[in-house]
Structure 1
Amino acid sequence: MPEFKALLDGYSRFRTGAYQEQRRRYDALADKGQAPGVLVISCSDSRVDPTRIFDTEPGQMFVVRNVANLVPPCDRDNAQHSTSAAIEYAVTQLKVHHVVVLGHARCGGIKASLEGTFDDAAVGEGGFIDRWMSLIAPARDTIRAAALISPDIDACAALELAAIRLSLANLRTFPFVAEAEAAGTLKLHGALFDIAEGVLKVLSAETGKFEPITVEWTDTAS
């Protein structure tokens, strides 16, 4: 079981490499605290690291990760809500200017939802996942029905996009999010990263579709 040792080896490389290269930035962050302009809500999937996808430096992004990058609706039921707490902190305390819901292709949580992997499972056997993924149950059921009529539909890809749209709608149920957006101090964005292709698609306010971001390649060989 060498995985933890690999983490410690990675820390050694970080401490002698990247940390030294960005020492002034780390010192400034330690003294002044963080002031990121962006909150990214991403999936816990080990293949999807938003700091790598967006090539950011320490202190640029406030990141919360959960299964399938979901945002629950605002609920004041006195229960514990980790994702909601992170959103509240980012918007009301850090005063971020942007919130990005970052989904990804081939999402295991989305696939499990479609296939009913954890349906009605007891706690300890998947009950937590079942309750969490129930957030997208209406969209899942709609897409399941559509796939029965048209089997050529990529149901998983459709639900990945639907989940991002739902999370954006749920963000607006938080009063402090809705107020900041109405005031023009906060903008919400939906995006999807394709792991296999390396393509990032962003939800367009004009077309209502997820449009790929064009990248200008530079010939480094010449």
Structure 2
Amino acid sequence: MPKETPPEDKPAAEKTLTDGFNRFRDKHYENGAGLMEKLVKNGANPDFFIINCIDPRNGADIVFDAPPGQQFLHQQMGAIIPPYDADKQAELAASLSYAIDAKKIKHLVIMGHSQCGGVGALVEGTSDTLIESWVKMAAEAKRAAEGKVGKTDKEALLRETERQTVIMSVKNALEYPMVKKAVAEGRLTVSGWYFDMEKGALHDYDPKKDAFTQIAPAPAAQKARAKHARRRPPHYPPPRKAA
């Protein structure tokens, strides 16, 4: 039996969520004129469908500072997209079918990230059989990473496997019938992104170059900010003088 949270602890734990709900409500409900009320009345028609990892540090709505209704969100450990199988991948296939054919999304984004625990389980192994059965579907990505960086440097292998998992997932997604059809008809783009959490940078996979390119923040702007930061005096802003 799972260990339950003692009842006396539940109110304190739940308050974290209810406080968050109250902030959400204050922001998006305005006596009939708020964003949520408009979405309820008119429906939501997002342009984006984002598939990312279950890691709580990289929720797509948070990372992209998205308001309600802007994007469909689908989370899978490691942002792994297995090869198409109508029976085994029914949940993802049904979600994609609805988003692409009924809601007419324009962009499908698959976003992996650094320090991914799912990819770590793939590279380093795990005793959890359920996790193992899932992450082994990205074994192809691990082999590709080993071919690029070898097996000696574990950190390099982890980072490269994270990126190769994105590449593999994009290739697999393009074989899902509803995705393949929409791309062929020119009404859907498919992108593979990699979120470097340490540096706060977003990279896009370019299949023509077989490489990831930083797209946010813009490299030039990032360099300018870093240069400006180096010019700051030891105490910046200067400490306020006592009255």
Which range, TM-score by smaller chain?
Answer: 0.7 to 0.9
1:155 equivalent among 148, 154, 157 = 157
* Cα RMSD for the two superposed structures: 2.6
Distance 1:73 1:80 in 2: 9
Structure 1 residues 209 and 143: CA distance shift in structure 2, 3 A: closer
Q: Give 1:103-118 correspondences, 5 Å limit.
A: 103-118=112-127
Match of 1:122 in 2: none
Give CA-to-partner distance per residue, 1:147-180, whole Å, 9 cap, x none.
33x5377011111111111111111111121111
Secondary structure, aligned partner of 2:55:
coil
Cα offset for 1:189?
0.3
Give CA-to-partner distance per residue, 1:14-63, whole Å, 9 cap, x none.
22234449943212210122211110001110100211222222111011
Distance 1:21 1:169 in 2: 46
Secondary structure, aligned partner of 1:17:
helix
1:88 equivalent among 88, 94, 97 = 97
Distance 2:212 2:31 in 1: 36
Give the alignment's TM-score, normalised by structure 1.
0.84
Distance 1:212 1:3 in 2: 39
User: Identity over aligned residues, as a percent?
Assistant: 29
Give CA-to-partner distance per residue, 1:118-167, whole Å, 9 cap, x none.
4xxxxxxx33212211210132245357533x537701111111111111
1:72 equivalent among 82, 87, 101 = 82
Match of 2:132 in 1: 130
1:99 aligns with 2:108: yes
Match of 2:39 in 1: 29
Give CA-to-partner distance per residue, 1:73-100, whole Å, 9 cap, x none.
21133x5632232222211221111100
Distance 1:63 1:190 in 2: 15
* Greater Cα offset, 167-176 or 151-160: 151-160
Give the letter aligned to residue 213 of structure 2. E
Secondary structure, aligned partner of 2:58:
coil
2:202 equivalent among 200, 203, 209 = 200
Cα offset for 1:9?
1.4
Q: Which structure has the larger Rg over C-alpha atoms? A: 2
* Greater Cα offset, 12-21 or 208-217: 12-21
1:48 aligns with 2:58: yes
Give the letter aligned to residue 120 of structure 2. K
Structure 1 residues 207 and 141: CA distance shift in structure 2, 3 A: closer
Cα offset for 1:4?
2.6
Structure 1 residues 116 and 10: CA distance shift in structure 2, 3 A: same
Structure 1 residues 114 and 205: CA distance shift in structure 2, 3 A: closer
Structure 1 residues 144 and 68: CA distance shift in structure 2, 3 A: same
Q: Which has the higher contact order (CA 8 A, sep 6+)?
A: 1
Distance 2:123 2:71 in 1: 31
Q: Which ranges of structure 1 fall in alignment gaps of 5 or more residues?
A: 119-125
Match of 1:190 in 2: 192
Structure 1 residues 144 and 205: CA distance shift in structure 2, 3 A: closer
